[in-house]
Amino acid sequence: MGASAGGIAWPALAAAHAGGAAFILLLPTHLYVAGGAITVAASFALVALVPHRLLAHADALRLDLGSVCVPARRTLSTLASLLSLALVIALVVAGVAGSRDPLANPLPLFVWSVWWIGLSYAHAVLGNLWAHLNPWSGLQRVMTAIGPFRRWDRTPPLIYSRQVACWPAVAGFLAFAWFELIHPAPADPAVLAGMVAGYVLAHVAGVLLFGPEWLRRAESFTVFFRMISWVAPLAVRRRAERASDAREPTEIGLTAPPLRLLSVEPPGPSGVAFVLLVLSAVSFDGLSRTFFWLGLLGVNPLVYPGRTALMAPNTLGLLGLFGVLSLAYLLAVRLAAGAGASRTFILSLVPIACGYHFAHYLPAFLVDVQHALRAASDPFALGWDLLGTRDLHVVTSFLTDPSRVYTIWHTQVALIVAAHVAGVVVAHALALRLTGGGPAATLRQLPLLALMIGYTMLGLWLLSTPSI
């Protein structure tokens, strides 16, 4: 749903876009693209002047807000998870029994807008909320508190192999991306209800058999939202994992979003693949709707044949972009610091993946979250008005008002450029840890800088090139 609504919004964002509501940008598009690239390059030149001892330990720049003891923290987390599970069940029922209109049924609106986009925004500010809001943790804790299953709390029936790592999460996210971007009807309430129900049940089995380790490594969105939380300025951590609720001090602090990545343990090969896949998926979402891509497929963008006719080439396109981006990243890292550094430098791509995700979906979110609020008032199409918003007027005039369109456009540009600048800062700090300071170490980072500049230009081009 988010993708389709975004497609409606894009034509108003640049003069190059088709449709009568197009506007002329204050500067030509190529100047915006060049300006973004120059900004990223300039940030590298500036950060290279920072004393390497200061930047290498920049993760220590943290404002401690103190520590608090949260009574019954585990119980509250369990209740939040159970409420989330109840909400998922209600949404699935609404998908089956409610309106067939994707803009009136709450299931597609909540999945593609409130959860996929809105919850990502929340994680970028507040940290890892999904650790408490996922619909499985509470059920697992309740089940393992019952007599026959009590021992499963600490010794689950099966052991999750470390060698498997996060590869199931990579496969799951690839399937999710394919469904969102390529499946003919990802917003159809009945189809989506089946997909959500199947996904939830599969991971219910996984978490009961393998314990919480299954969620940490195999559940795609536990991995995804954890990745998003790495850029959050708000850092919350407990001093002891196994202490009682009453004795679990929770430390709260603030840090500059990119600098927090310097304290994150570098992921393994599966984590590297996951970050690259997230970046590839959101990039292909933008690319697949451009006149350029449709031209490569021999499709007239003004006579769009629909998703079904393009499933095969779009599947190859998604996999191809993932492969090209992965090869470009591995080559840049090899030239900069050797192949073994791919685990470390992948952290510098996390702000870029997050920034483009936030920018790309912004217009869709602004529209669809209003539809979601309206649909939530009558989830089963029974004439209810639970929230008093059933007759809410959805405002889309900002997509036809030049001043507001420019504001959205400049916000998207700022998000993309700021994310790449953050990536440059993180990459330089990580490089100093690996190779030390000096001009030679700075010069060795140029391949990574070239990759980031190239992706900056790609991201800005995707925002402005003609799209359906």
Long-range pairs of 234-237 with CB within 8 A, sequence gap ≥ 24? 234/125, 234/126, 234/127, 235/62, 235/127, 235/260, 236/127
Give residue 429's pLDDT band: very low, low, confident or very high (50, 70, 90). confident
Residue 113: pLDDT over 50: yes
- Tens digits of residue pLDDT in 81-95: 999 999 999 999 999
Interacting residues of 289 by C-beta distance below 8 A, sequence separation 6+: 7, 10, 467, 468
CA 237 centroid distance within chain: 22
Q: What is the largest CA-CA distance in the chain?
A: 69
Torsion of CA 43, 46, 48, 51, to 10 degrees: -130
pLDDT at 36: 80
Looking at residue 341, its amino acid is A
- Tens digits of residue pLDDT in 115-159: 999 999 999 999 999 999 999 999 999 988 887 777 777 788 999
pLDDT at 435: 72
CB neighbourhood size of 329 (10 A): 22
CA 395, 401, 403, 407 dihedral sign is positive
SS3 255: strand
Instruction: State the DSSP string of 57-74.
Output: TGGG-EEEEEEEE-TTHH
CA 202, 275, 163, 331 dihedral sign is positive
Residue 28: pLDDT over 70: no
- Tens digits of residue pLDDT in 286-303: 999 899 999 999 999 888
Number of domains in the chain: 1
At 235, give phi and psi (nearest 5°).
-115, 125
d(CA 330, CA 336): 10
Across the beta sheet with 62-69, what order do the strands follow? 62-69, 249-255, 234-238
d(CA 387, CA 190): 24
d(CA 419, CA 348): 10
pLDDT at 69: 67
pLDDT at 227: 96
Residue 272: pLDDT over 50: yes
Q: What average pLDDT does the chain have?
A: 85
At 158, give phi and psi (nearest 5°).
-120, 150
Q: Containing domain of residue 151, as a range? A: 2-464
Averaged pLDDT, 318-342: 90
The residue among 177 and 335 whose pLDDT is bigger is 177
Q: Which of 234-248, 267-281, 390-404 has the highest mean pLDDT?
A: 267-281
pLDDT at 93: 97
- Residue 467 pairs in a beta bridge with 290
